[in-house]
A = this chain, B = another copy of it.
């Protein structure tokens, strides 16, 4: 049974700009925190994966829609869904919501690479972890 991963994010002064709203590039940071926690809950963290498999994850593509602004003190939730898992890439859908309302939506292509930047097959523990959050694309 596929699942959505949810991670809470509080908006602090550092996240906002002089427009009084969250600076657009910071939604990408929020999404990266949520991806990191999704992996950590499955038993993998960055330093562990680097040590055991000599791999890191790098964002190779990000299509982002910014629909409504988040404000200082807001409590947000990042919803992460796994769309597709290839040999060395992961496709994700990440939605940033406030009380259910969709504020921003990201579609990402994450590549698994070694220290020299060459594509590497996804380690099995990562593959197993992602299967838990994978959904059929029709549902997105």
> What is the interface of chain A, defined by CB distance below 8 A to chain B?
10, 12-14, 16-21, 23-26, 28-29, 32-33, 36-37, 40, 45-48, 56, 58-67, 69, 71-73, 117
A69-B32 contact given A14-B17, A19-B56, A25-B25, CB 8 Å threshold: no
- Which of B16, B40, B45, B47 touches A17 (beta carbons < 8 Å)? B16
Query: Is A29 touching B14 in the complex (CB atoms < 8 A)?
Result: yes
Query: Is B16 touching A59 in the complex (CB atoms < 8 A)?
Result: no
A59-B24 contact given A72-B18, A73-B45, CB 8 Å threshold: yes
A18-B13 contact given A64-B62, A72-B47, A117-B69, CB 8 Å threshold: yes
